[in-house]
Amino acid sequence: MAPTIIHLRAETKPLERRSPLSPASAKALLDAGYVLHVERSSDRIYKDSEYEAVGAEMVPAGTWVNAPTDHIILGLKEITDGDSPLPHTYIHFQHCFKKQDGWAAALSRFSRGNGLLYDLEFLTEPNGRRVAAFGYWAGYAGTAIAMLAWAHQILHPGTPQGSVPVFDSAPELAEHVKKAIAPAVAANNNQLPRAIVIGALGRCGNGARDFCLTIGLPKENILEWDLPETKKGGPFKEIATSDIFVNCVYLGAAKIPPFVTFDSLAEAGDERRLRVICDVSCDPNSENNPIPVYSTYSSFDSPTVPVKEKVENPELRVIAIDHLPTLVARESSDEFSSLLLPSLLTLNKRDTEGVWTRAQNTFNERVKELPASN
Ligand SMILES: NC(=O)c1ccc[n+]([C@@H]2O[C@H](COP(=O)([O-])OP(=O)(O)OC[C@H]3O[C@@H](n4cnc5c(N)ncnc54)[C@H](O)[C@@H]3O)[C@@H](O)[C@H]2O)c1
């Protein structure tokens, strides 16, 4: 049987440094008899030399477009350029299976080209749980930015925060945050911030809690809530009286009462300490958004957006960045890649029941939903 050939794309989205395939996972695939073509990339957190060292064949960026159609094209973020039909088998996050904006145009490229998209968000275990996700490091990175925003507000009230600095490792980021918050803690009567994490038992929630502990917050400064604590229904005063709120819940289809509202913030009066909300779940446009006090995304360049109603002193700002793990690109790629590897190792024997078959069924179902014009 001819070996399965995997072609790792160079990502093209600005500031994207993550990769779904680490050099360690590349080596495991090569050891298992796969052939691996890796596009060169100066943006990727892993150096080209790390892939070369394990024996991958390096190829120029963008060559996936003209690769033979039996090569499997692996990437992280969506393919956006152009409108041409896509004839290969692809593995990446395309963000079109939930009918997001532009879904039909994006999806029809695969069906028009007789291609197949295994969307990474829809690689699942038989029980529906995702095979690989980036949650832990999203919570970690989001909480880091929240701490920087808290310190910035105390030290430089009313001024823009500036872009989030880039680090090559999570310990470097944590060290930076520790140093950055020290003068703010001093200016805050030597009090460390108090944080509330909701969705604390999940992947993002664990990362949020661990970041707090890593920079030296005592456990009593971290309120960890999950379903039992929110069962009574929001809004919750405990949010307004914390300094930082990190939202990490995974919302199902059911609508829940909001965790915080303009009125609940106003009602807290002088007891309000809340200065920063980090919405890791980050669904500002969903009608289920449990934080209906903001409506736009923020970015690493401009990490916070203001809450404009009923909060003046202290000001309140929201972090809503939808690709947080990029900030800790190496650790998040290592984790994601090791979770994905067992599935990649079965690509050469896609059976009738496995993860790839389930993902192909999802693709086929979504294609059937395409409007006739596509
Ligand atoms: N911003 C980003 O870059 C980024 C990256 C990764 C994930 N996410 C998002 O973060 C969210 C969480 O992802 P995850 O992987 O941690 O999910 P998860 O399933 O591991 O954890 C979610 C947690 O939320 C809890 N929860 C659900 N509803 C709740 C409620 N009403 N009250 C209290 N707790 C509740 C669950 O019990 C669970 O513990 C998802 O929406 C995901 O899409 C964002």
C-alpha pair distances (Å), 50 with each of 145, 151, 168: 29, 37, 15
33-60: average pLDDT? 97
Task: Label residue 158 by pLDDT band (50, 70, 90).
Answer: confident
User: Which tokens hold the place of 210?
Assistant: 């661990």
Q: How far is the CA of 135 from the centre of ligand 1 (A)?
A: 8
Answer yes or no: are the C-beta atoms of 324 and 137 closer than 8 Å: yes
Report the atom number in ligand 1 closest to the C-alpha of 320.
Answer: 1
Q: How far is the CA of 332 from the centre of ligand 1 (A)?
A: 16
C-alpha pair distances (Å), 274 with each of 61, 128, 239, 317: 46, 36, 7, 9
pLDDT in tens, 185-221: 999 999 999 999 999 999 999 999 999 999 999 999 9
165-176: average pLDDT? 95
pLDDT in tens, 226-281: 999 999 999 999 999 999 999 999 877 678 999 999 999 999 999 999 999 999 99
Report the atom number in ligand 1 closest to the C-alpha of 326.
Answer: 3
Q: Is 226 in the pocket of ligand 1 (CB under 6 A)?
A: yes
Show which residues are catalytic: 77, 95
69-94: average pLDDT? 95
Q: Is 282 in the pocket of ligand 1 (CB under 6 A)?
A: yes
Read off the DSSP letter of residue 116.
E
- The pLDDT of residue 352 is above 80: no
Task: Tell which phi-psi region holds residue 128, choosing left (phi > 0), alpha (psi between -120 and 50) or beta.
Answer: left
Q: Which of 131, 230, 248 to mutate to test the pocket of ligand 1 (most atoms within 8 A of CB)?
A: 248
Q: Which of 223, 227, 230, 250 to mutate to test the pocket of ligand 1 (most atoms within 8 A of CB)?
A: 250
Answer yes or no: are the C-beta atoms of 212 and 224 closer than 8 Å: no
Task: Label residue 306 by pLDDT band (50, 70, 90).
Answer: very high
Q: What is the pLDDT of residue 79?
A: 94
As a whole number of angstroms, the distance between CA 154 and CA 156 comes to 6
As a whole number of angstroms, the distance between CA 184 and CA 175 comes to 15
Domains by residue range for the chain, with CATH: 5-132+329-368 (3.40.50.720), 135-322 (3.40.50.720)
278-301: average pLDDT? 90
Report the atom number in ligand 1 closest to the C-alpha of 200.
Answer: 39
- The pLDDT of residue 333 is above 90: yes
Report the atom number in ligand 1 closest to the C-alpha of 142.
Answer: 1
Closest listed residue to residue 50, CA positions, set 93, 6, 8, 4: 8
Which 3 state secondary structure label does DSSP give 107? helix
Nearest protein CA to atom 6 of ligand 1, as residue? 135
Residue 338 phi/psi, 5-degree rounding, is -70, -30
Q: Is 192 in the pocket of ligand 1 (CB under 6 A)?
A: no
| Average of per-residue pLDDT values in the chain | 94
Task: Tell which phi-psi region holds residue 224, choosing left (phi > 0), alpha (psi between -120 and 50) or beta.
Answer: beta
Which 3 state secondary structure label does DSSP give 306? strand
DSSP conformation letters of 190-259: TPPP-EEEESTTSHHHHHHHHHHHHTT--GGGEEEE-HHHHTT-S--HHHHTSSEEEE-----SS----S
Q: How far is the CA of 247 from the centre of ligand 1 (A)?
A: 8
Q: What is the pLDDT of residue 53?
A: 98
Q: Which residue has the tokens 């903001």?
A: 294
User: Which tokens hold the place of 30?
Assistant: 């090569």
As a whole number of angstroms, the distance between CA 45 and CA 4 comes to 25
Q: Which residue has the tokens 């994601």?
A: 336
Task: Label residue 149 by pLDDT band (50, 70, 90).
Answer: very high
